[in-house]
């Protein structure tokens, strides 16, 4: 009886420690989106810097990645002007980052899509390294203009999980097999962006996150 009691007590302690450790880990590395406006003397010369940290955190997303379902991160950065109650969208830009697990290579591949062009951000054996690649600062190519107006930047990030059929079409496009896109009948950049040819992001198990951040209002003279 004493041995059984000790075993039950030991198991309870182990479970408690495991739960505490998991809770502490969950609190660390929480996903965060930030956008920083340029310095005052650079406002009409360069755009804001966007950083998406720890975006691959979360058990559900990690399990989907490990099962072969790629994650798509869609970034939109907007420049807004404001005059009291009125806010006007002046300019915007957008890009995508796709993260997928390559089972044969046993590596996570991170690819950035800007307009019509894919850019490899690398292949990584560890998920943390792939997340660090996603978190690299990106300077959005939109700038404010002079004229005594007040502006602010807003960044929106949507993290979704693609289906395997979506991935198949993306791979075919990257291999040059989608000839209509090559002939100019449709823009290949929209394969991940705006969804021409009904390439719609499918949500798996409700795995969809959205983050919105904005800079303080600034004035450009």
CA atoms of 180 and 204, how far apart (whole Å): 29
Least confident residue range of 11-25, 47-61, 106-120: 11-25
Structure tokens at 4: 């059984």
pLDDT of residue 10: 34
CA atoms of 117 and 173, how far apart (whole Å): 11
Encode pLDDT of 138-171 as tens digits: 999 999 988 878 999 999 999 998 765 555 666 6
CA atoms of 87 and 145, how far apart (whole Å): 16
Q: What percent of the chain has pLDDT over 70?
A: 67
13 vs 93: which has the higher pLDDT? 93
pLDDT of residue 78: 97
CB 91 within 8 A of CB 122: no
Least confident residue range of 64-78, 97-111, 196-210: 196-210
| Residue located via tokens 């989106």 | 33
Structure tokens at 10: 């030991």
pLDDT of residue 116: 76
CA end-to-end distance (rounded Å), the chain? 82
List the beta bridge partners of residue 154: 78, 214
Q: Is 70 exposed, middle or buried (0-12, 13-18, 19+ CB in 10 A)?
A: buried
> Of 72, 78, 108, 104, nearest to 91 (Cα)?
78
pLDDT of residue 17: 36
Predicted confidence band at 29 (pLDDT cuts at 50, 70, 90)?
confident
Helix/strand/coil for 48: coil
21 vs 173: which has the higher pLDDT? 173
Is 0.85 topped by the overall pTM? no
Predicted confidence band at 67 (pLDDT cuts at 50, 70, 90)?
confident
List the beta bridge partners of residue 213: 155
Predicted confidence band at 172 (pLDDT cuts at 50, 70, 90)?
low
Which of the 8 DSSP states describes residue 216?
P
| Residue located via tokens 């046993």 | 106
- The mean predicted confidence, pLDDT, of the chain is 77
Least confident residue range of 13-22, 53-62, 112-121, 149-158: 13-22
Which of the 8 DSSP states describes residue 196?
G
């Amino acid at each position: 009886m004493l041995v059984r009691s000790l075993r039950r007590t030991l198991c309870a302690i182990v479970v408690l420690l495991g739960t505490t450790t998991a809770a502490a880990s969950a609190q660390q590395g929480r996903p965060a989106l930030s956008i920083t406006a340029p310095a005052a003397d650079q406002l009409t010369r360069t755009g804001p810097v966007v950083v998406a940290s720890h975006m691959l955190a979360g058990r559900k997303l990690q399990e989907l990645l490990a099962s072969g379902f790629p994650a798509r991160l869609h970034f939109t950065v907007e420049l807004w002007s404001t005059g009291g109650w009125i806010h006007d969208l002046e300019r915007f830009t957008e890009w995508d980052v796709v993260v997928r697990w390559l089972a044969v290579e046993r590596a996570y591949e991170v690819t950035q899509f800007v307009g019509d062009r894919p850019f490899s951000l690398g292949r990584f054996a560890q998920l943390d390294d792939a997340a660090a690649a996603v978190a690299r600062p990106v300077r959005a190519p939109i700038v404010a203009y002079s004229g005594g107006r007040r502006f602010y930047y807003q960044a929106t990030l949507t993290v979704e999980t693609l289906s395997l059929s979506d991935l198949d079409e993306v791979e075919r496009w990257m291999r040059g097999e989608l000839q209509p896109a090559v002939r100019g009948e449709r823009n290949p950049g929209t394969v991940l962006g705006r969804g021409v040819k009904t390439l719609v992001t499918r949500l798996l198990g409700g795995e969809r996150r959205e983050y919105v951040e904005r800079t303080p209002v600034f004035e450009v003279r």
